[in-house]
């Protein structure tokens, strides 16, 4: 009889996984989880330093969330939001509206982050059509940004190896502009003077302001490694969008529901978007749910136009079970002061990672905030030597870095999007003890990387 590993390799198609890695004899089957730790089918215990995939914010094994799902299934397992409402979707939408910034208080539910971004695209189009501006169909996005993998969302994604195979199939004109990697304000400089800001306005002007529908950006950009914006960056995005009648969308699929210590990451940077996309942490990933929060006046404008509706929908959007879990998840985030835990321990995580950088010459940079960090690697910081192409290829993807991570029993993400990096994003319930354990295990990984690089000389 075949075991789970063999059956997975025979019947299951993995996501973003190389074939040689999936066929390997040491393929890991994760079997159970509790708190900030998970166990594989062989009984090995791992620290989940990525919160599943930036999403198990309350950690694993929460019986309150599973009880909420079971209770809702017993009462109403399914009904759609096509012309109907049900109590759990009403409650979840009301709770999200209560904590969203500004007048973003209308919530449209879908099932994933990619779908949330698709929803933002389609809402922007409907809004401009409602205003009689049919020519507005272009979007400004940023280099290396990850906004999803469905074809509409992929058009916005700025990661070459994800986009390039599907370029002939991507719909809609999208212009990518520089991100905020390495950008810092100099003394006396304003955000308006930064090239990464002026590039946004220049792109709108070059495309023709009357043709641009939306600017989309993450408060802290995931692709290229936890890029924190400089002071004033988001205020400038707001100013530019207002000047040209363009909608501003904050993609918070990762950043929201506590990842940056706030309900929405936009709060941390003074952002005032017209729309916010969310997913992942809204249910702590116990069930799929994503969505879009929109400013009330924009929704009313669409409803009062000849369109009379937001022309979008899906069968499972606002599913009763998913929204019931979302309400239970948000209640726990609030009642257990989880945001305060992030803000209280973020300095410990940041300082610990920077201490590791000081101790290991293979670490080039540490970036991030809250419980969302990237550590970028190089050959030798002291001599300013970057990794060679051969060294990079051997490290990742699917290379020795993944083995070092696995052997340290820490689930952080080796990332090759533009540089060799480790993405670190623990559950939001991780306390000082868990943070210290995480840092110790990452230290082991860097020791292995340093030894491997020395052996190559």
Q: How many CA atoms lie within 13 A of 147 on its CB side?
A: 34
How many residues are given for the chain? 457
Local confidence band at 1 (pLDDT 50, 70, 90 cut-offs): confident
Mean pLDDT, to the nearest integer, of 226-237? Answer: 98
Between 98-107, 131-140, 234-243, 394-403, the lowest mean confidence (pLDDT) is in 394-403
Helix, strand or coil for residue 414? strand
What is the DSSP secondary-structure string of 281-304? GGTTTSS--EEEEEEHHHHHHHHT
Beta bridge partners of 385: 380
Q: What is the mean pLDDT of the chain?
A: 97
pLDDT score of 398? 85
| 136 alpha carbon, distance to own chain's centre | 27
Q: Tokens representing 456?
A: 């190559």
Q: Tokens representing 351?
A: 């300082």
Class of domain 4-61+337-456: alpha beta
b/e code 392-406 from CB counts within 10 Å (16+ = b): beebbbbbebbebbb
Q: Calculate the dihedral angle through the C-alpha atoms of 132, 134, 135, 139, rounding to the nearest 10 degrees.
A: 100
Residue 386 belongs to what H/E stretch?
none
- Third-level CATH fold of 64-335: 3.40.640
Yes or no: say if 292 and 107 are a contact pair by the CB < 8 Å rule.
yes
In this model, does residue 227 exceed pLDDT 90? Answer: yes
Mean pLDDT, to the nearest integer, of 189-212? Answer: 98
pLDDT score of 377? 98
pLDDT score of 66? 98
pLDDT score of 307? 95
Q: Per residue in 34-66, pLDDT tens?
A: 999 999 999 999 999 999 999 999 999 999 999
In this model, does residue 240 exceed pLDDT 80? Answer: yes
Residues of the chain with CATH 3.40.640.10: 64-335
How many CB atoms are located within 10 Å of the residue 70 CB?
13
Rounded-to-integer distance, Cα 165 and Cα 153, Å? 15
To the question of pTM greater than 0.85 for the whole model, the response is yes
pLDDT score of 77? 98
The residue ranking higher by pLDDT, 333 or 170, is 333
Local confidence band at 387 (pLDDT 50, 70, 90 cut-offs): very high
Yes or no: say if 441 and 397 are a contact pair by the CB < 8 Å rule.
no
pLDDT score of 56? 98
Q: Per residue in 102-131, pLDDT tens?
A: 999 999 999 999 999 999 999 999 999 999
């Amino acid at each position: 009889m075949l075991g789970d590993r063999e059956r997975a390799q025979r019947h299951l198609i993995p996501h973003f996984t190389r074939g040689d890695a999936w066929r390997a004899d040491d393929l890991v089957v994760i079997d159970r989880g509790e708190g900030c730790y998970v166990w594989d089918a062989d009984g090995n215990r791992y620290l989940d330093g990525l919160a599943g995939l930036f999403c198990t914010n309350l950690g694993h094994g929460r019986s309150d969330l599973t009880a909420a799902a079971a209770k809702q299934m017993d009462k109403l397992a399914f009904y759609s939001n096509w012309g109907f409402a049900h109590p759990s979707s009403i409650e979840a939408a009301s709770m999200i509206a209560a904590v969203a910034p500004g007048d973003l208080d209308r919530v449209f539910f879908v099932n994933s982050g990619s779908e949330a971004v698709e929803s933002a695209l389609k809402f922007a189009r409907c809004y401009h059509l409602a205003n009689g501006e049919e020519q507005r169909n272009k979007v400004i996005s940023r280099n290396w940004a990850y906004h999803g993998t469905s074809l509409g969302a992929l058009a916005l994604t700025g990661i070459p190896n994800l986009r390039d195979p599907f370029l002939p199939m991507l719909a809609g004109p999208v212009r990518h502009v520089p991100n905020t990697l390495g950008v810092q304000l100099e003394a006396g400089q304003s955000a308006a003077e930064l090239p990464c800001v002026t590039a946004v306005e220049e792109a709108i002007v070059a495309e023709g302001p009357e043709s641009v529908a939306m600017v989309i950006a993450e408060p802290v950009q995931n692709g290229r490694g936890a890029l924190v914006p400089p002071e004033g960056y988001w205020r400038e995005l707001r100013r530019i969008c207002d000047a040209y009648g363009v909608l501003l969308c904050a993609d918070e699929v990762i950043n929201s529901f506590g990842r940056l210590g706030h309900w929405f990451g936009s709060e941390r940077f003074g952002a005032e978007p017209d729309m916010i996309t969310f997913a992942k942490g809204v249910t702590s990933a116990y069930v799929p749910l994503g969505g879009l929060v929109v400013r009330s006046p924009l929704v009313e404008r669409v409803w009062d136009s000849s369109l009379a509706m937001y022309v979008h929908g899906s069968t499972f959007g606002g599913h009763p079970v998913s929204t019931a879990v979302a309400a239970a998840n948000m209640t726990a985030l609030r009642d257990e002061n989880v945001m305060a835990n992030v803000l209280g321990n973020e300095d410990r995580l940041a300082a610990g990672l920077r201490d590791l950088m000081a101790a290991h010459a293979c670490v080039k940079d540490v970036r991030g905030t809250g419980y969302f960090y990237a550590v970028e690697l190089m050959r030798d910081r002291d001599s300013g030597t970057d990794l060679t192409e051969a060294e990079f290829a051997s490290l990742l993807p699917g290379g020795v870095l993944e083995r070092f991570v696995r052997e340290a029993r820490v689930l952080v993400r080796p990332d090759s999007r533009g540089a060799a990096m480790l993405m670190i994003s623990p559950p939001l319930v991780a306390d000082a003890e868990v943070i210290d354990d995480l840092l110790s295990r990452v230290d082991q990984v860097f020791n292995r990387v340093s030894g491997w690089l020395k052996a190559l000389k």
